[in-house]
A = this chain, B = another copy of it.
Amino acid sequence: VQPARTPGQRAGLTREAVLAAARQVLTEFGLDGLSMRAVAQRLNVAPNALYSHVTNKQTLVDLLLDGVLADVDPDVATDEPRAALHALMTITYDTLLRHADLLPTYLARQGARGPNAQRLGDIVHARLRTAGVRGARADQAQHVLIIHTIGFAAFASHPNVDSDGEPGRSVTAMRRDYTTSLTWLLIGLLEAR
C-alpha cells in the first residue's frame, strides 16, 4: 500500500518485485487467483506495466516454479551413499509440497528444466558418483529420481477424492508410498549391475 504516485512518476518495478508480488498473490488466492491483473493490482500498477519486466504469464509461472526448487537444502546428515540419496530426494519432496499451489503445473511446464532444477540435478549427480554410478547411467538416474519426485509431489498436492466421492489415500499414506517407491528405485539402481 504505497502513497499514490502523481501521473508520469515511475513505479520503480523490478523483475524480482514482480515475482515477489506473484508469490504473494499465489499464497493468498491460489493458482486460480494468479492473474497478471491481480499481480499488477498488488503492485499498484496498470496490468500491462508487468510486460516491461516479464515477457508473459507463462514465463512468469516458469520462474516461480523453478524458484520452488531453490528452497531445497542439499545438506544431509549422512555420507552413506544410498541413505544420502534417499534423504536428498525426500527433502526435495517435502520442499515441493510446501509450495503445493504450484505443483499441479510443475511437470507440464518449463520449471522442471530451469536453473534450480539443473542445480539439483548436479547435486544428485555428485551423490550418484560417490555411490559408484557414472556416465550415461548417472544421467539417466539423475533424471529419473527428479521426475519421480516431482510427479509424486504433484499428485499429492491435489485434493484427494476418487470418482465415487470416497476419500482416497491420505497425505501421510502418500508420503509413505513415495518413500518406499524411492527405496525400490534405489535398490534397482544401485544393486542390479
Contact = CB atoms under 8 A, between A and B. Distances in A.
Interface residues of A, number: 44
A184 interface: yes
Interface in A86-131: 103-105, 107-110, 112-115, 118
A113 B192 CA distance: 33
Which of A109, A110, A114, A181 counts the most chain B CB atoms within 10 A?
A181
Contacts of A162: 113-114, 118
Interface in A139-193: 140, 143-144, 147-148, 150-152, 154-155, 157-158, 160-163, 168-169, 176-177, 180-181, 183-189, 191-192
A128 to B, nearest CB: 13
Overall SS of chain A's interface: helix
Given A184-B192, A185-B185, A191-B187, A163 B105 contact: no
Interface of A: 66, 103-105, 107-110, 112-115, 118, 140, 143-144, 147-148, 150-152, 154-155, 157-158, 160-163, 168-169, 176-177, 180-181, 183-189, 191-192
